[in-house]
Amino acid sequence: MMRAALLLGAFLVSATGCAHVAPYDREYLAGTCMDTSRERGAMAFQSHVHDAREGATGGHGSTGGGCGCN
């Protein structure tokens, strides 16, 4: 009885992750904001912008001058 309850629970948990996506909605899932491989570059750019605006290094390995000329 316990095994059947665990099996049913596992099935219900795994079934909740499935969803049907209409073809015209797939363009939103394929957008650049959903691409996780670009996050590292975006974070490095944001760090550089922050360092340039604050005029100090943020400990991220970039130099800061305050004028944005780096």
Residue at 17 is within a domain: no
Within a domain: residue 57? yes
Write down the pTM of the prediction: 0.31
The average pLDDT across 31-51 equals: 75
Domain limits at 30? 22-70
- The Cβ of residue 30 has, within 10 Å, a number of other Cβ atoms equal to 8
Residue 13 falls inside a structural domain: no
Stretch 22-46: mean pLDDT: 77
Structure tokens at 63: 């130099």
**Does position 17 have pLDDT exceeding 80, yes or no?**
no
Among 10-14, 16-20, 30-34, 40-44, name the most confident range. 10-14
Does 8 reside within a domain? no
The number of folded domains in the chain is 1
| Residue 51, Cβ density class (10 Å: 0-12 exposed, 13-18 middle, ≥19 buried) | buried
**Virtual CA dihedral for 30, 10, 7, 2, nearest 10 degrees?**
180
Is the pLDDT confidence value at 51 over 60?
Answer: yes
Residue 40 lies in a domain: yes
Q: Number of helices and strands (H, E) in the chain?
A: 3, 0
63 part of a folded domain: yes
